[in-house]
């Protein structure tokens, strides 16, 4: 069989929701343990100005900042820049 986590290293988000935990989990799936050293991954978030995409992005940013502060994990806070 084909193992996607050994083959696919890019994520494109077209329709995110307000669930920061779900977003973090999906990012973790791209950055799986066991990837070969030097494997590069990329994340692309598609969003349109003046739409609910902006509202979702702003809310996710707030949640990721908050989660990062509670967990004392700057890496989580940095994800709010996506």
1: pLDDT strictly greater than 80? no
Across 6-10, 69-73, 75-79, the highest mean pLDDT is recorded for 69-73
CA distance 76 to 59: 14
Identify the residue with better confidence: 28 or 43.
43
Percent with pLDDT over 70 in the chain: 96
Q: What is the pTM of this model?
A: 0.73
Q: What is the greatest pairwise CA distance in the chain?
A: 43
What average pLDDT is seen over the chain?
85
67: pLDDT strictly greater than 80? yes
Domain range holding 51?
4-81
Number of domains making up the chain: 1
């Amino acid at each position: 069989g084909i193992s996607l986590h050994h083959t696919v290293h890019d994520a494109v988000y077209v329709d995110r929701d307000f669930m920061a935990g779900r977003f973090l989990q999906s990012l973790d799936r791209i950055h799986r343990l066991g990837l070969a050293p030097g494997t590069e991954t990329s994340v692309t978030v598609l969003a349109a100005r003046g739409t609910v995409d902006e509202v979702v992005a702003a809310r996710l940013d707030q949640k990721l900042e908050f989660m990062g502060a509670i967990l004392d994990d700057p890496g989580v806070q940095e994800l709010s820049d996506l």
